[in-house]
Structure 1
């Protein structure tokens, strides 16, 4: 896997004021890496499970909530509306979908559930300004929903990558067929929502390893 920075094809920022505001609503890769994001014990399992459930195409975001044992509590996929890359817009979209699939934990003193974001996009695994805006949006949405901010994962033609950690793999990728869902989860219940998909899972781990 290669590391570095790449321009975002989705970035469309015009005007000095709009540019400054939007750039303030994104996180650089080093800021994200230093933010104390909890490590996933088995990122490949998380990525494969979300890929099987939601079958994301490029441009699709999948937000998932994990319990304290890293079991999937809820997830939702959606395609954000076409707009200039802005962490504020991404935050609002993530928060709206979190509210649809799982109650908030704002009454808890300490978050016990963690939200992670898988974003399927074009390009390679290098950080882009679009990724930085998603990171800002995820962090803010988690705060407003009483969740711990978890990993940000990209899914591209080359594979998947947990940004800020250096962990990744070649499969699944944005072109690979999803694995059979029965291989990764049991007792799954799913229901459609306009503009994306939702899956609420029984909090049990598959026995097959």
Structure 2
């Protein structure tokens, strides 16, 4: 399932400030940045959807190790629709700092951050997506991480922007499925809820021991 990039003209006025300040990335800029490809995007998307059950306006920031295993993740509701990459960068960086020690001492980033954003619209690229891309890239730089994929979750399904890869399930209106080996249903998110995934607690213990 592939998607194209189309920027709706209706967003031009609302996000003009972000465009003037350059705090968004156009699709060609994102593609040229050499964002590493996910080996198993469907597994990543399904896992994050099961853990966080995102509803529209929910962002899920996740950190993966070199083997693409989930290290930590957090979800939150972004109520502002300013499409300003600086604001989104601050929101992402705040969550990263809560769930994971930074890697700024490393010469080369080892872990990769990916962003899943659920929105109640179609799959076409918008300037809001461009602002999230800018925010993700900048937050990764400030936290010592590699900037990874930006994934949208819409009514039509999910897509990895800039790669042409996607699927019809899950979508923005899908019910979260239980993770393998777990029981019980996923608790619905509340605004600014943080959830950690993978080995976040273990990573924090290892850092504290050093």
1:199 aligned residue: 196
**CA deviation after TM superposition for structure 1 residue 113, in Å:** 0.0
Gaps of 5+ in 1: 204-209
| Paired residues for 1:14-53 under 5 Å | 18=17, 20-22=19-21, 24-53=22-51
Distance in 2 between residues matched to 1:175 and 1:52, nearest whole Å = 13
1:136 aligned residue: 134
Contact 2:18 2:131 in 1 (8 A): no
Runs of 4+ in 1 over 6 A off after TM superposition: 8-11
**CA deviation after TM superposition for structure 1 residue 21, in Å:** 3.6
Contact 2:52 2:60 in 1 (8 A): yes
Moved more, 193-202 or 61-70: 193-202
Distance in 2 between residues matched to 1:36 and 1:113, nearest whole Å = 16
Contact 1:54 1:197 in 2 (8 A): no
1:171 aligned onto 2:166: no
Distance in 2 between residues matched to 1:171 and 1:119, nearest whole Å = 15
| CA distance 1:196–1:8, shift in 2 (3 Å) | farther
TM-score scaled to structure 1, two decimals? 0.85
Contact 2:18 2:85 in 1 (8 A): no
Match of 1:181 among 179, 182, 188: 179
1:154 aligned residue: 152
**CA deviation after TM superposition for structure 1 residue 20, in Å:** 4.9
**CA deviation after TM superposition for structure 1 residue 3, in Å:** 1.4
Larger strand fraction of residues: 1
Contact 2:103 2:144 in 1 (8 A): yes
TM-score scaled to structure 2, two decimals? 0.85
Aligned partner of residue 149 in structure 2, secondary structure: strand
**Which structure is higher in RCO with an 8 Å CA cutoff and minimum separation 6?**
2
Distance in 2 between residues matched to 1:173 and 1:34, nearest whole Å = 27
**CA deviation after TM superposition for structure 1 residue 200, in Å:** 3.1
Distance in 2 between residues matched to 1:8 and 1:131, nearest whole Å = 14
Distance in 1 between residues matched to 2:159 and 2:102, nearest whole Å = 28
Aligned partner of residue 44 in structure 2, secondary structure: helix
- How big is the alpha-carbon RMSD for the aligned residues of Structure 1 and Structure 2? 2.3
Match of 1:119 among 112, 117, 120: 117
Equivalent residue pairs, number = 194
| CA distance 1:56–1:130, shift in 2 (3 Å) | same
1:7 aligned onto 2:5: no
